[in-house]
Chains A and B, each alone.
Chain A
Amino acid sequence: MQVTTMTFSVEPCNQDTVIVRIGKALDFRNAAEFKSTCQTQVRSGARNFILDFSETGILDSTGLGSIFSLYRQVSPLEGQVVFASVSRPVQVVVQLTRTYKVFRQFPSVDAAKDALV
């Protein structure tokens, strides 16, 4: 019985690539919802995920964990998870956990689109 108040908007790019807008926060309050949003996308064929962090002020370890789950789901399918417009708080978490080796980063959603689509 998770408290869910936020929703994630998803914008399809092409058949197997989608953009997910993370919004202000991805943390223990909405990580379950993020997971299920992404799962729905994977089920309908999405493989590449562009996560838009332009507005994100909070990314806690539960939130990051939900991104990791997504990564483990799509990487056996040759999919990718990339980060776009990474804000400073997100950058700090990515640095600490050394996960920039796994998640490619792009200055903007458009740049990520160019690289993936």
Chain B
Amino acid sequence: MRGYLTLVRRDLGSFFVSITGYMIIAMVTLLLGASFVVLVESLNQESTNLPLTELFYSTFYFWLILLLAAPVITMRSFALEKSTGTYETLMTAPVADSQVVLAKFTSALLFYLLMWLPLVVCMVILNRFSAEIPSINVGQLLTTFLGILLLGGLYIALGCFASSLTRSQILAAMLTLMLGIGLFLVSYLSLTLPFQGGWQGELMGHVSMIEHMQEFVRGVIDTRYLVFYVSGIAFFLFLTLKVIESRRWK
């Protein structure tokens, strides 16, 4: 546990002493700023009953940020250590492989959450200055962030897995981006080609992240989705652990 916390601290800290960390924050702030403009414009046009969080989700910025930021955040986690050789000093320290994997995942996830904080500010400002009855409530904001956390967790776990496979950061980022877009397109498919019942329709409904997030921004927590994301995260972290352990396979 001590080893885990020490590693989380170092890894999280490393985002803030490198240019990459600040570049990610700058890009995301820019995108969130753009989404803010879109929100303001749509609020100016006609009155709407949609909550602010849902309005935000109806722009494409959420997916853009998720799909682009996750690969850049996670590409360093293992690939950088492998390419600089610090992987060897790390893995010969008396820490369990599982602690290393969990620490890499946690620090990336924490950074990812920090990166989303400007969204809260956007929401609060809009809420404060919109003339109509407050269109935001804390519950919806919390479930939105739960959705951001869960979907992000899945993508970050996926990124850690990709990063553990290679010693090239670029390759890790590209792999994460490809798998990430793949996952997104599966969700998109289920929206554009509604399956008429049957098991295909069932399956697509369960894995459609676009729909899941739609529920989260509305303020609905469906335990099925919770289970889906938590098990997805566990699955990719398990794969990462196996890749890390494979070094010790005879």
Do A and B interact?
Answer: no
Which residues of B does A touch, CB under 8 Å? none
Which residues of A does B touch, CB under 8 Å? none
